[in-house]
C-alpha cells in the first residue's frame, strides 16, 4: 500500500542573500518525504543546513528552486500559508522566543485566534492541549515564571491546539536540563503514539534511536538515510561527519571487533544487555 506523503520536499535548493547581492548556498537539491505517522530524525554537524531545511517544512522559508508540498499546497502559495502552518507545527530551540501571551492559556490561544476558531471550541482545544503536555494546572500563570522545560511544553501545547499532522522540533530540547528533556520527549512520544508525524532535529543520539528513519545532512545535502539501526552501523562515516553514535552502538562495535558473534547493530542499552545475555550463554569460561 502506498501512503500519500504529508510533506514532499522536491529538489530544494536555497541560499541566504547577504549584502543584497551575494547568495550563500545552503541547501543543495534536497529531496525527501514525510509520511503519515512517521518519526523522522534529522542529524548533521552545525551549519549543515538542518534549521534552514526545517523552516522550509511549513513555509517560513521558501525554496529558491524546487518545491515543498504540504498535502496539496505548495509552500510558495501565500494564500495557503495559514493552512500550511496549521498542518505543520514547529517548536524551536529557545523557549523564550516562542511565548507571546502574558498568561499560559492566552499563549496557547494565540494560534487559534489567528485562524478564527470559535470561543467554545477554543476552550476545548486549550483544555486538550494543556492536558496533553501536563500543564493544565499552570493555565492562569504568567509563562515567564516557568522553567525552560515548562515553557517548551507550553509552546508544544500551542501547536497541539492547532491539531497539526506534523510536529517539527528543531533542537527543541537542547536548552533544557535532563528532566526538561525527558518531559518533552515523553510528550512527543505520546503525540506520536496518537498518530502525529514527528520530525526532530537533534544532537542527542539516544533521541534518534526512537525514530523510524534518520536523515543525515552534510553541507546542505542529504548524505545518508536509513533506519537508526542501519545508520548507526556506519560509525566510521558518521565520525568523519563529526557525528556520534549511541554509547550502546559504540560498545557493541568494540566487542564485535574481538568477538564477531556479538551483533554490532545494537542501538539501545537494553539491546546491549540482551546481546550480552545471548552471546554470554555460549561463552566458555576458563
Ligand X SMILES: Nc1ncnc2c1ncn2[C@@H]1O[C@H](COP(=O)(O)OP(=O)(O)O)[C@@H](O)[C@H]1O
Q: Please tell me the distance from the alpha carbon of residue 22 to that of residue 139, in angstroms, as a whole number.
A: 47
| DSSP conformational letter for 253 | H
Compare residues 199 and 272 and give the one whose CB is closer to ligand X.
199
Q: What is the footprint of ligand X within residues 116-145 (CB under 6 A)?
A: none
- The answer to whether 169 and 93 are in contact (CB under 8 A) is no
Q: Segment contacting Mg ion (CB under 5 A): 3-11, 17-25, 43-51, 250-258?
A: 43-51
Least Å from the CB of residue 65 to ligand X: 17
Q: Segment contacting Mg ion (CB under 5 A): 9-17, 48-56, 61-69, 269-277?
A: 48-56
54 binds Mg ion (CB under 5 A): no
Compare residues 51 and 86 and give the one whose CB is closer to Mg ion.
51
Residue 222: helix, strand or coil by DSSP? strand
Q: Please tell me the distance from the alpha carbon of residue 17 to that of residue 93, in angstroms, as a whole number.
A: 23
52 binds ligand X (CB under 6 A): yes
Q: Segment contacting ligand X (CB under 6 A): 49-57, 114-122, 129-137, 138-146?
A: 49-57
| DSSP conformational letter for 65 | E
Q: Segment contacting ligand X (CB under 6 A): 41-49, 70-78, 92-100, 242-250?
A: 41-49
Residue 73: helix, strand or coil by DSSP? strand
2's grid cell: 502506498
Q: Which of 6, 38, 44, 157 binds ligand X (CB under 6 A)?
A: 44
Q: Please tell me the distance from the alpha carbon of residue 216 to that of residue 194, in angstroms, as a whole number.
A: 26
CA distance to 39, 72, 210, 252, per residue, from 68 (Å) = 19, 10, 26, 39
Instruction: Give the residue closest to Mg ion by C-beta.
Output: 51
151 binds ligand X (CB under 6 A): no
Compare residues 55 and 141 and give the one whose CB is closer to Mg ion.
55
- The answer to whether 87 and 167 are in contact (CB under 8 A) is no
Task: List residues binding Mg ion (CB under 5 A).
Answer: 50-51
Amino acid at each position: 500500500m502506498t501512503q500519500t506523503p504529508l510533506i514532499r520536499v522536491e529538489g530544494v535548493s536555497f541560499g541566504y542573500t547577504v549584502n543584497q547581492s551575494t547568495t550563500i548556498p545552503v541547501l543543495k537539491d534536497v529531496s525527501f518525504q514525510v509520511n503519515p505517522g512517521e518519526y523522522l530524525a534529522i542529524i548533521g554537524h552545525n551549519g549543515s543546513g538542518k534549521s534552514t531545511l526545517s523552516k522550509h517544512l511549513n513555509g517560513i522559508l521558501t525554496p529558491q528552486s524546487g518545491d515543498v508540498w504540504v498535502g496539496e499546497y505548495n509552500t510558495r502559495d501565500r494564500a495557503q500559508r495559514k493552512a500550511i502552518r496549521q498542518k505543520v507545527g514547529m517548536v524551536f530551540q529557545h523557549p523564550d522566543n516562542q511565548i507571546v501571551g502574558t498568561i499560559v492559556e492566552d499563549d496557547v490561544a494565540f494560534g487559534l485566534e489567528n485562524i478564527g476558531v470559535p470561543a467554545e471550541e477554543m476552550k476545548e482545544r486549550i483544555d486538550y492541549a494543556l492536558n496533553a503536555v501536563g500543564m493544565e494546572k499552570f493555565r492562569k500563570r504568567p509563562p515567564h515564571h516557568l522553567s525552560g522545560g515548562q515553557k517548551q511544553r507550553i509552546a508544544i501545547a500551542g501547536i497541539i491546539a492547532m491539531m497539526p499532522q506534523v510536529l517539527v522540533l528543531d533542537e527543541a530540547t537542547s536548552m533544557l536540563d535532563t528532566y526538561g528533556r525527558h518531559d518533552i520527549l515523553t510528550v512527543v512520544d505520546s503525540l506520536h503514539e496518537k498518530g502525529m508525524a514527528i520530525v526532530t532535529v537533534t544532537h542527542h543520539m539516544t533521541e534518534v534511536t526512537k525514530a523510524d528513519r534518520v536523515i543525515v545532512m552534510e553541507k546542505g545535502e542529504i548524505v545518508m538515510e536509513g533506519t537508526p539501526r542501519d545508520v548507526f552501523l556506519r560509525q566510521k562515516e558518521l565520525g568523519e561527519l563529526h557525528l556520534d553514535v549511541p554509547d550502546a552502538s559504540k560498545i557493541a562495535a568494540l566487542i564485535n571487533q574481538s568477538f564477531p558473534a556479538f551483533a554490532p547493530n545494537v542501538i539501545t542499552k537494553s539491546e546491549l544487555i540482551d546481546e550480552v545475555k545471548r552471546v554470554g550463554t555460549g561463552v566458555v569460561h576458563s
